Amino acid sequence: MKRGSACEQHVKIDAAGLTTPDVCTKLSLILRKTFSYFHKGTVYMRLVFAGALLLATASLPCFSQATAHLTVDVAETVAKVSPTLYGIMSEEINHSYDGGLYAEMVSNRTFKTVKGLSLENWVLIQNGDARATMEVDASTGPSAALRHSLMLTVASAGPGAEAGFYNTGFWGMAMRPKTAYGGSFWAKAESPLLGGVTIRLVNDKTGEVADSTSIPSLGIAWQQYQYTLRTGELNPSADYHLEFLVEHPGTVWFQLISLFPPTYKSEANGKRTDLMEMLTALHPAFLRFPGGNYLEGEQLNEHFEWKKTIGPLVDRPTHTTPWNYWSSDGMGLLEFLTWCEDLHMEPLLAVFSGYSLNHEHIKPGKDLEPYVQDALDEIEYVTGGVNTRWGAERAKDGHPAPFVLKYVEIGNEEYHDPSGTYNARFAQFYKAIKHRYPALQIVAAAPVTAVRPDILDDNDHVLHTHFYRTAQQFFQDVHHYDTYDRSGPKILVGEWATREGSPTTNLGAALGDAAWMTGLERNSDIVVMASYAPLFVNVSPGAMQWPSDLIGYDAMTSYGSPSYYAQVMFSTHLGDGILKTNLETPNPRLFESATYDSKTHVVHLKLVNAASTAQPLEVALTGAAHVQSEATVTTLRGRTMQETNSITDPKRIVPVTSKISNAGAKFSYTLPKYSIQVFDIRVD
């Protein structure tokens, strides 16, 4: 592109496929209208119009925004980019797993909610003149972990007059054509005379049966049964429910009723394929789990007890979450680890530190020892050979190969603990873990002085939380780490997000995020890991606890927020060395970072223009013998900060790729308003 005026640059951008009306077109329209009035009006009117013209001219972007100057020194990299810079953080919040990533379609499958034993989401069926009742029976269940069950008592039933119940799913059950759904349940019958059970997938609105199958007879002792339902031709829809029906009087007990669609990589007890594919596109280097508040629990006895989340589902007692709903614990420790394995993410395992959200804590010393031992056992479960106590347990659970674990965090947001005991608690965990696993990097969840952590999970010292901010707060703090003490521990930004937009974030949030990420990237010699949070939200009514999330979904489909696409752009265009940049700009909402990929010889230049006007820019790449003139530009942009994606409009704001042909040691470009752009420029 030839160097030219800001207006010429706009024309060029539109030619590259971007659609926002050109400011110059707007200007010529205003001019034409104003002059036509000017000719017709009185002297007074002419004066008013002349004033208006002056004002309009002054406020137009292509004249108001002075050119910014950016120098990128490509002669050498100033530090290495952390290969683990961009990760994800996840916990059971907003129905992230139950009703989310965990593909189980039956909700409240173990008849327990935050209210106690409960049949929430289960509805009695009495077809024709069948008569039956259902209730939770606390006196019988299939295991020590599940000692209760749903008791169906049928007074009368027969063919065409069945009795039973149905499950409403997680805001529906998504059915797709020609698909096999694999189910299982535990049951026992009062007598063999009760016969069998018919299981059907039924459309809520039409009553159409998508498929039906039968278990011919039920035994009188607790036993697990398997079933498969196959759909034929149907319109994909979440308007389905799952029915269990009997045709004879008597009593029958049920527990752990389950139904799975095809899962990611066909794994048993697996994950939703669409969400795993969205995460694959994000290229996360690590997963911080299992929380968050979900690790801590509201009270000490409600923390994430990993030993209760492993093994067969029937041996998992399930537990409450601090997010006011019950967790099936189908996503247990092993499922978190296979999630890491599937997406090639480093596990960042957070272990319970003896502190809960209601500010209870375990005294460091003798009282804390069992918790330290629990963490050591957990690390052994993850990394131990099959000849170790907990490695053998993992093998029994189906994964003989040990996982690679490099990072362990002690607790979560420990700066909230008013007792001031974290220093001592951390030291106790640190010493025990380092003694047995010296190579592990130990992450502190708050500043400590007793021992020096390898990594500190940093927090916003003003807001006294992880980095949950407005876009403006991030714009003003993009230099946060520029002057950080390089002699201290490395930094994990364990949770961060621009909290604008609900249920998922909007373009303004993506701009705040992108601005913040330029700062993380420029400082990724010290910021070795950063994970956006929360990752997921089920957007169905009542499913969300935390507005402003990265990825939204319902039972049927999923979508990424503009923040999601900003993250994809940043994590997939990342070199291995940080380049020094110098930006001179009159625009306080213009941000930059540049990295160099030594294998591909590509400079990944990221530019964020969060202003409401386009920004002319002169770029100088110094120190390269040759700069290829054709470069790729990936752009995420919109008309307003509020513009966003949603479940019904999922692709409104998505990255668009185009080419420029005027890249060089020096070149001009005009950054569109409200835009995030990545330039991939080959240099030699």
Judged by the rule CB under 6 A, the positions of this chain that interact with ligand AHR are: 91, 93, 291-293, 412-413, 465-466, 495, 533-534, 546
User: Of the two residues 380 and 457, which places its CB atom closer to ligand AHR in the complex?
Assistant: 457
- As given in the structure block, the two tokens for residue 12 are 């060029």
User: Of the two residues 546 and 591, which places its CB atom closer to ligand AHR in the complex?
Assistant: 546
- As given in the structure block, the two tokens for residue 194 are 């009760």
Q: Please state the closest distance from residue 298 (CB atom) to ligand AHR, in A.
A: 12
Q: Please state the closest distance from residue 242 (CB atom) to ligand AHR, in A.
A: 32
The answer to whether 626 touches 534, Cβ cutoff 8 Å, is no
Per-residue DSSP letter, 43: H
Q: Please state the closest distance from residue 514 (CB atom) to ligand AHR, in A.
A: 20
Mention every residue, 6+ apart, whose C-beta is less than 8 A from residue 277.
Answer: 264
Residue from 347, 352, 355, 351 nearest 288 by CA = 347
User: Of the two residues 142 and 291, which places its CB atom closer to ligand AHR in the complex?
Assistant: 291
User: Of the two residues 536 and 669, which places its CB atom closer to ligand AHR in the complex?
Assistant: 536
Q: Please state the closest distance from residue 296 (CB atom) to ligand AHR, in A.
A: 8
Q: Please state the closest distance from residue 323 (CB atom) to ligand AHR, in A.
A: 8
Half-sphere exposure of 74 (CA within 13 A, CB side): 28
User: Of the two residues 413 and 643, which places its CB atom closer to ligand AHR in the complex?
Assistant: 413
- As given in the structure block, the two tokens for residue 62 are 């292509």
User: Of the two residues 447 and 534, which places its CB atom closer to ligand AHR in the complex?
Assistant: 534
From the number of C-beta atoms within 10 Å of its C-beta (0-12, 13-18, 19+), residue 365 rates as exposed
Q: Please state the closest distance from residue 535 (CB atom) to ligand AHR, in A.
A: 9
Half-sphere exposure of 137 (CA within 13 A, CB side): 18
User: Of the two residues 181 and 474, which places its CB atom closer to ligand AHR in the complex?
Assistant: 474
Q: Name residue 254's beta-bridge partners.
A: 150, 187
Helix axes 422-436, 369-383, angle to 10 degrees: 40
Q: Give the C-alpha separation, 636 to 674, whole Å.
A: 8
Tell me the residue number closest to ligand AHR, measured at CB: 292
User: Of the two residues 91 and 346, which places its CB atom closer to ligand AHR in the complex?
Assistant: 91
User: Of the two residues 70 and 93, which places its CB atom closer to ligand AHR in the complex?
Assistant: 93
User: How does DSSP assign 468-517, residue by residue?
Assistant: EE-HHHHHTTTTTTTT--TTS-EEEEEEEEE--SSSB--HHHHHHHHHHH
Q: Are strands 286-289 and 346-351 parallel, antiparallel or unpaired?
A: parallel
Q: Please state the closest distance from residue 494 (CB atom) to ligand AHR, in A.
A: 8
Q: Give the C-alpha separation, 682 to 569, whole Å.
A: 17
Mention every residue, 6+ apart, whose C-beta is less than 8 A from residue 12.
Answer: 1, 670
Q: Give the C-alpha separation, 561 to 36, whole Å.
A: 44
Q: Please state the closest distance from residue 307 (CB atom) to ligand AHR, in A.
A: 22
Q: Please state the closest distance from residue 468 (CB atom) to ligand AHR, in A.
A: 7
Q: Please state the closest distance from residue 549 (CB atom) to ligand AHR, in A.
A: 9
User: Of the two residues 253 and 546, which places its CB atom closer to ligand AHR in the complex?
Assistant: 546
Per-residue DSSP letter, 341: H
Alpha helices in 41-170 (DSSP H): 43-59, 61-64
User: Of the two residues 494 and 562, which places its CB atom closer to ligand AHR in the complex?
Assistant: 494
The answer to whether 348 touches 290, Cβ cutoff 8 Å, is no
Cis peptide before 655 (omega within 30 of 0): no
User: Of the two residues 429 and 536, which places its CB atom closer to ligand AHR in the complex?
Assistant: 536
Q: Please state the closest distance from residue 413 (CB atom) to ligand AHR, in A.
A: 5
Q: Are strands 86-89 and 286-289 parallel, antiparallel or unpaired?
A: parallel
Residue from 588, 674, 670 nearest 63 by CA = 670
User: Of the two residues 216 and 418, which places its CB atom closer to ligand AHR in the complex?
Assistant: 418
Residue from 402, 431, 532, 412 nearest 474 by CA = 532
Q: Please state the closest distance from residue 93 (CB atom) to ligand AHR, in A.
A: 6
Q: Please state the closest distance from residue 225 (CB atom) to ligand AHR, in A.
A: 37
